[in-house]
Amino acid sequence: MAQDTARGTAQDTARGTTQDTTGNITEDPAGTPPLHGIHIPLVTPYAPTGEIAAGALEALAHEVLDAGATGIVALGTTGEAACLDEAERDLVTDVCARVCRERGAALTVGAGAAGTRAAEVSLARLTRWPQVGAALVTVPSFVRPSAAGVAAHFERLAGVSPVPLIVYHVPHRTGQPLDAGALRALGSLSGVVGVKYSSGGLDQDAVELLGDLPAGFHVLTGDDVYLSPMLALGASGGILASAHLATERFAELAAAWRAGDAVRARALGHALAGLAAAVFAEPNPAVVKGVLHAQGRIPTPDVRLPLLPASKAAVAAVLERLAALREAFPA
């Protein structure tokens, strides 16, 4: 019964509805990907011999969609995109596109580059996969342009991209902080439909942005620990590595806030925040891969250098959190 309900949730969200700041559900404009609910930035599983375990990746994609995820994200940070060669990145995208075509689910693919011309080339390659609904594009890193330069970068990309753009705002990785005004300006650009907001906390800029969003612009939290308060403030959903685990409960949390069930949402949100904190006790995605391997869902816990595998203690801590979550919130 729980799985049937979760499948219905995934199918409904894939049809293209959205939540406004008052909690009302409306249809997304034609051509806009469903940017609400829980999106899973899939890990890239490896076989014992080191190559990508494509079968495990495909099974994992189906599992999270069965459990209620709105969509999946290929080639995000959690997928170790920087550690994959071009052929491997294409393989991952092929697998994810096939699953999303079969399931009618939302597919977002990580793309872009620090330089605008290189980012254009990266986005142009997405025409190979018609199932791609949006591109997750990081704010230029290392270069550290001005806010006006960031806006010009995304305006140029939005003008040539074959799919809508989701800005990946992650200043602790890019070295490029953007305030609410700068993000609002990006959200006003034609072709920019959302932001993955990963500032490392629930800050004043998040509050200001969510209080005055451009029309058709969605905020998806990328800081797993802060999912519940961000949803309470009006975020549309989240792109969350920790939602590989207990996907049903993350989807339930999003639904609870959408339905206005604050009592249920607060309790579940606190429990999931504790789980998320344990998942990120060591560099991502090492711990989530260690737990997935312990659950028998991927063939190895391996990550590629410069990342190192998770410690046994970190994996055990997450497994304990999951057991407590199942006891407190049975399916």
- CA-nearest of 197, 199, 205 to 180 is 205
- Indicate the residue type of 202: L
To the query of whether residue 196 is one of the catalytic residues in this protein, the response is: yes
Alpha carbon distance 55, 69 (integer Å):
19
The catalytic position among 196, 197, 226, 289 is 196
To the query of whether residue 168 is one of the catalytic residues in this protein, the response is: yes
Question: How many Cα atoms within 13 Å fall on the side-chain side of residue 316?
Answer: 3
DSSP assigned state of 52: B
- Chain centroid to CA 141: how far? 19
- Whole-number CA gyration radius for the chain: 18
Q: Is the peptide bond before 299 cis (omega within 30 degrees of 0)?
A: no
Are 275 and 318 in contact by the 8 Å Cβ rule? The answer is yes
CA dihedral sign, ordered 314, 315, 318, 319: negative
- Chain centroid to CA 197: how far? 10
Alpha carbon distance 192, 182 (integer Å):
13
Alpha carbon distance 326, 312 (integer Å):
21
Q: Could you list the active site residues?
A: 168, 196
